[in-house]
């Protein structure tokens, strides 16, 4: 049991390292402009670091893991895979959420061939997996502060999900204006978020 817990914590630490490196690259690219005011971008960064920190804290504080915990971790592994693949595919075309490039490059290969927003889809999976782990263990590990901590994390999660979704829609509109028919064909063939499911968000 101790060995399984150690393995769980090791994998959790590796996921956090990958997510921070690939998903939380806050460096501003040359030529980047703002979709959202810097204050809202800063709040988004704080919420993301808070959620990641809470997940890592809970994971390292856990003394016994269950099947549900491994399922939570599996969701995060999937999400981190999407984030890593998307960042590698974008290369220098990547910008932190809330920003865009004045001269963007339309990436349609790799993971972008199965979803138009693999970064946001991956981040959402990581947020869901981390939140489930906190819910499963928070009440046991921190019974007195759990309601307050959960409330703070819930607000951070809701803000992060709303901000990312709002930015994804704005980015789609910008790409449609910039690339025109090329992007229109791309969005017809590739779903907005969830791969392999014809879930499209038509940009008007």
Q: What is the pLDDT of residues 129-166, one digit of tens each?
A: 998 898 888 777 677 777 888 888 899 999 999 999 99
Does the structure show a pLDDT above 90 at 28? no
Q: Domain locations in the chain?
A: 2-189
Q: What percent of the chain has pLDDT over 90?
A: 49
Please give the pLDDT value at position 204.
Answer: 43
Distances from the Cα of 113 to the Cαs of 42, 47, 75, 90, in angstroms? 30, 29, 21, 12
Residue 196 pLDDT > 70, yes or no?
no
pLDDT, average across residues 189-202: 70
Return the pLDDT at 26. 66
Does 102 score more than 90 pLDDT? no
Residues sharing a CB contact under 8 Å with residue 63, sequence separation 6 or more, in sequence order: 5
- pLDDT computed for residue 22 by the predictor: 83
pLDDT in the model for residue 200:
46
Window from 32-46, 68-82, 107-121 with minimum mean pLDDT: 32-46
Q: What is the share, in percent, of the chain residues with pLDDT greater than 70?
A: 92
Phi and psi (nearest 5°) for 24? -115, 35
């Amino acid at each position: 049991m101790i060995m399984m817990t150690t393995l769980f914590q090791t994998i959790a630490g590796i996921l956090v390292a990958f997510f921070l490196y690939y998903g939380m690259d806050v460096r501003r690219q040359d030529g980047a402009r703002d979709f959202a005011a810097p204050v809202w971008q800063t709040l988004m960064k704080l919420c993301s670091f808070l959620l990641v920190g809470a997940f890592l804290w809970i994971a390292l504080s856990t003394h016994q893991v269950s099947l549900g915990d491994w399922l939570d971790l599996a969701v995060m592994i999937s999400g981190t895979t999407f984030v890593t693949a998307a960042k590698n595919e974008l290369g220098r075309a990547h910008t932190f959420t809330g920003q865009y490039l004045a001269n963007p490059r339309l990436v349609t290969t790799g993971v972008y061939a199965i979803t138009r927003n693999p970064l946001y889809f991956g981040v959402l999976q990581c947020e869901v997996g981390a939140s489930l782990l906190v819910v499963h263990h928070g009440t046991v590990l921190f019974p007195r502060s759990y309601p307050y901590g959960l409330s703070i994390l819930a607000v951070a999660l809701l803000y992060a999900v709303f901000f990312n979704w709002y930015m994804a829609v704005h980015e789609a509109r910008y790409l449609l204006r910039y690339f025109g028919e090329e992007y229109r064909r791309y969005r017809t063939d590739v779903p907005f978020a969830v791969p392999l499911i014809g879930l499209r968000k038509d940009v008007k």
